[in-house]
Structure 1
Amino acid sequence: MTFRQYLFRLKWRFGLFILMYGVMIAALTAVSVFTGNMITALTQFKVNAFVTAAIVMVVATILQLIVQTLVNIYQISLQRRLNNDIRTEITKSIAKMPFEQYHSRSDAVYTSWMTNDVNTINTQGLRNVACLIQASWQVVLSIFVLLTYDASLFITTLVCAVLLITVPMIYRKKLSAAAATWSQENEKLTNRLTDILEGFNTLFMANRRHVMVERVQQASDDAGHAQVGYIQFNMATQFLINLVNLGSQLFLLIQAGLLAYNHIIPVGAVVTIHSVAGTTFSGLTLMSFALTTVKSVAPIFDKFAKAVPAQQEAKKPVTPLTEAIKLQNVTFTYPHKKEPVINDLNMTLQANQKVALVGPSGRGKTTLLRLISDVLADYRGEITWDGHNYRQLDPRSLRDQITYIEQAPYIFNDTLRFNLTLGRQVDDSVLQQAIKGAQLTEFMKHQAQGLDTVLEHNGGDLSGGQKQRIALARGLIRQSRLIISDEGTAALDAKAGLSIEKLLVSLPKTTLIMVTHNLRREIKDQLDRVITV
């Protein structure tokens, strides 16, 4: 979506915003007109006309101040809604991304989109749209006032207006390019800051914490250079506009003075015209600058648009596994790698069997699990689920049949209930059954708030075994009949690891595929197959 499309979504609110600006600028213009009328009345010694003009000017000033306050408040509300819409659309695009597309960028890049880029849209986009609205009202109302005095004033204003609008074109493309560079550098900054801060423990133990300071300083400096580059073009554009603005106001003032000298307009009108000219050319200056600046955010929306995944065609829904998963002549090579990590693999995994994949690191065990889970799709060969080709199956429906337990399952900074259900509506009976099945009953006894206990970011207040049991409970709630464990117990102590593995191999009517570098004898005896990769 473009910036204009986002604003059109808010058309009724945006229309009210435009109207409020119209009332404010009309009141401001009235102040200028009646100030001139006051001076004209004084030169003609008309007391009643002077008092009337003064009263109207005061009322118009008060109205202008009230509406300006309301406009400022309303703009913040409009900005909030716009920010919500932009972040929501970005998140919708992210949520639809295939696994590989999402991981083509780091998490920090997406964070930068929803923070740095949205802030840039606020400062360079919406605020300048507000400036455009204000400037448009200023120009229209000011020209109307000038026409009531003399048509020649309108002609002069028109010529100067063309100059004010065309001059900034010199830097428009450069300004857009500089804005795109600044956005990219903000992404890099967020990425580099995240990287260095997550490495605190490593640097702490190595007594290399000063590296954090050096890296942050360098990253900040690089991003700062891009910002300076943008501001330089911005200021150069503003300087040219202001120069033309000043010359235009001066020329119109001289013209008004000559008209008054020749008794074509009253003396007080010179004051009004000077004020209105300032408003007109300030409005045109603002309009010219705002147009250029608003266009500079276009590359950000182009970047968002390119991240929208292609529409997927409807595919077959997947039912629980009853026969087997088969891989036939499967070859997979990671992007930017020359050699395949899996080459011409043939394998059959029977339903309801408990299978362990063993072998040295780097032999493709995790890749194989990701292929079975339909996380990696760019492979050669054929993978089937009960005889149905993976490429003809609905990926979402397929993932509904699978519980994937990683070495370090992610825990959200949310309630225990959310971490178990991931936002699904689940009956308490099903939830309690999953808690019991994952051996979380004892853990629950120590949670004062029960399922409403809020867990720390990534389970900072949990042990490795507790995280694994929560991940398992997620699968039991979904009633998945295929559980994939990728070194799921590697980070646990021997007792906790054995407990989780015993639980996995004992699940009835469930297919288990587990990767392990430490196949315990107690577990091996309960497996149907051990496959060396």
Structure 2
Amino acid sequence: MVEKQYSSWKIIKRLLSYYSKKKYLLLLSCILIFLSTITEISSPIILSNFISNILKNKVVKIKSAILLTICFITLQILSSLLNYLYNLYFSKISTEIIKELRINIMEIALKQPMKIFDQKPISSIVTKITNDTESIKEFYEVIVSSFLKNFILFSIILTTMFILEWRMALISSIIIPIVIMIIIVHQYYSKPIIKKIKYSLSQLNNTISEIINGITIIQQFNQEKNFIEKINIINNANYLNKMKILKIDGLLLRPLLNLISSIILSAIIAILKLVPKAMIKISILHTFINYLRHLNEPIVTIVNQQSVLQQAIISSERVFRFIDLPIQIYGTYNNSLTSGKIQLKNVYFKYPNTKNNILKNINISIPNKSCIALVGKTGSGKTTLSNLILGYYPATKGTIYIDDKLINSLSNSTLRKNISIVQQDPTILYDNLITNVSLNRKIKNKKIIKALHQSQLKELINTLPDGYMSILGQNGSNLSQGQKQLIGIARILVSNPKILIFDEATASIDSESEQKIQKILSSIRKKSTVIIIAHRLSTIIDSDIIIVLDNGKIIEKGNHQQLLQKKGLYYTMYTYQNNNTYL
């Protein structure tokens, strides 16, 4: 698939489109900028008239001097007030746009197919939501507001200069094409380097995230030096790229100040030499020199912000590439399912960008309210099969039916309400126990408390300092693995799904917690279809059907006794585990 191209101008156009919902506030800000600019350029005109009166009357009037002082102070106060207001409104607009953009990114992220999270590190998505949007904020808060102000200032000053002395103004305007050329050259050389800087920052975030999450493993295997070296390599690459940007800025942007000064000086000398002195009033010359100084400022400001603009464009490209990713497509069937019946017919599956099928010709019929176990060696396809039933991935080939309906015809809400999973390591939020079970779903506390008691968590609740409202540690750091599993089960009990999947839920817990889960499973089986993925075969001997997978294929199927009699792979696995248990 050909990667979508994002040109700088298209990105800027798309960024500016976010102003469409803020057009009235933007218009007000532009009016404030215009008024602020008028107050700034009024001072030289007032001073010019004052000088003309002195030269004409050959005397300084006290009244005129006081009036001039009052006018100056008034204009300065008014200019400061208008500057404050337009900066305030631009900050308000930029903050609202970035808030909208971040929500948009999160909405897209939550609708992405699981393959995106398999292919991209989570920290890279976090970087887009935080760092990249901050760079984009600078586009709205700094670049746009500064460009508008300086463009208006430049236009008004240049127009006034043409009115005062068109020849000198014409010479001064030569700077415009030179500035445009410098901006184009700067963009050409700086854009690829800024891309590398953004990539290295993303790598740095990913590496730091890996180090923090795997700190125990790193210390256990004495790998601190290797990871520090990895950080140093990324930092050095980032440093070298930033030095390149500084060199480009130094060569292209800073000399522009000297260039502008030289042009201004040349213009003044040329006018004084070519035009008879009698044709130029001293007051106009004074005003012109003031305006030339003001004309210098907006050009220098715009050019010096090129690095900030390029960073905003690169960050925007990264964000827009993510936003434009295709979202997970679901069906339109929104009603509740009437049963937990499941059928898989000739199902094949392979992960994106891979050649080999993980699942091959899977045919299963699971009756409503039955208990099915999926067993097999590591990598045999058990978890992949459960992901297809959950609707996380579409089958590469074949069909899957849930409650006699094609799985791709079911809406996302129907799938999530009716099919749930208890994973081996449930995610625990840094929040109270009630919220960890409800997950902000609209569920009454009474129902949540009942589910917690059914999940055999009453003993845990009694030990917590604030009971149900106790804050659980980061990712359940103050809980045992068994307690995490029981909280995961409580989440399921409040929603009563038609299909419940246990993915290695008893793999790493103590025997007491396992007995509690088995007891809960017995009651759930009366209401729901239960699919258990297990390595510990002693936990699934009561299952109605046990499906044995090997290398993505179903090689055996039956209940515990039938499979033992076949003396195939299941018999070998069960015998091996039993012998090891007794040893």
Question: TM-score surpassing 0.5?
Answer: yes
The correspondence for 1:122, drawn from 137, 143, 146, is 137
- 1:15 corresponding residue in structure 2: 27
- 2:530 corresponding residue in structure 1: 512
Instruction: Determine the C-alpha separation between the residues in 1 that align with 2:523 and 2:311.
Output: 60
Q: Over residues 127-160 of structure 1, what are the superposed CA-to-partner deviations in whole Å (9 max), with x where a residue is unaligned? A: 1112201211211221243234223233233333
- 1:490 corresponding residue in structure 2: 507
Q: How far is 1:13 from its partner?
A: 2.6
Q: How far is 1:332 from its partner?
A: 1.5
Residues 323/109 of structure 1: CA separation in 2 closer, same or farther (3 Å cut): closer
Residues 164/315 of structure 1: CA separation in 2 closer, same or farther (3 Å cut): same
The correspondence for 1:45, drawn from 53, 59, 63, is 59
- 1:325 corresponding residue in structure 2: 342
Contact 1:6 1:85 in 2 (8 A): no
Instruction: Determine the C-alpha separation between the residues in 1 that align with 2:278 and 2:470.
Output: 82
**TM-score when normalising by structure 2:** 0.83
Instruction: Determine the C-alpha separation between the residues in 2 that align with 1:350 and 1:235.
Output: 73
Is residue 111 of structure 1 aligned with residue 126 of structure 2? yes
| SS of match in other structure, 2:125 | helix
Contact 2:348 2:395 in 1 (8 A): no
Q: Over residues 36-66 of structure 1, what are the superposed CA-to-partner deviations in whole Å (9 max), with x where a residue is unaligned? A: 4444445443324444323212221232233
Matches within 5 A, 1:106-505: 106-123=121-138, 126-239=141-254, 241-254=256-269, 257=272, 262-288=277-303, 290=305, 294=309, 297-307=312-322, 308-310=324-326, 312=329, 314-317=331-334, 319-320=336-337, 322=339, 324-505=341-522
**TM-score when normalising by structure 1:** 0.90
Q: How far is 1:387 from its partner?
A: 2.6
Instruction: Determine the C-alpha separation between the residues in 2 that align with 1:88 and 1:339.
Output: 37
Structure 1: stretches of 5+ with no match in the other structure = none
Is residue 63 of structure 1 aligned with residue 83 of structure 2? no
Contact 1:161 1:281 in 2 (8 A): no
Q: Over residues 424-454 of structure 1, what are the superposed CA-to-partner deviations in whole Å (9 max), with x where a residue is unaligned? A: 2112332233222222333333444444433
Contact 2:340 2:528 in 1 (8 A): no
Residues 292/37 of structure 1: CA separation in 2 closer, same or farther (3 Å cut): farther
Instruction: Determine the C-alpha separation between the residues in 1 that align with 2:521 and 2:94.
Output: 50
Q: How far is 1:323 from its partner?
A: 5.9
Structure 2: stretches of 5+ with no match in the other structure = 1-10, 550-583
Instruction: Determine the C-alpha separation between the residues in 2 that align with 1:464 and 1:222.
Output: 41
Is residue 86 of structure 1 aligned with residue 104 of structure 2? no
RMSD: 2.7
Q: How far is 1:257 from its partner?
A: 4.6
Residues 317/197 of structure 1: CA separation in 2 closer, same or farther (3 Å cut): same
Q: How far is 1:187 from its partner?
A: 1.8
| SS of match in other structure, 1:319 | coil
Contact 2:194 2:311 in 1 (8 A): yes
Instruction: Determine the C-alpha separation between the residues in 1 that align with 2:41 and 2:459.
Output: 74
Q: How far is 1:486 from its partner?
A: 0.8
- More displaced 10-residue stretch of structure 1: 107-116 or 141-150: 141-150
Contact 2:91 2:141 in 1 (8 A): no
Contact 1:149 1:265 in 2 (8 A): no
Instruction: For 1:526, give the aligned amino acid.
Output: D
Instruction: For 1:215, give the aligned amino acid.
Output: K
Contact 2:341 2:367 in 1 (8 A): yes
Instruction: Determine the C-alpha separation between the residues in 1 that align with 2:134 and 2:250.
Output: 20
- 2:7 corresponding residue in structure 1: none
Contact 2:340 2:499 in 1 (8 A): no
| SS of match in other structure, 2:278 | coil
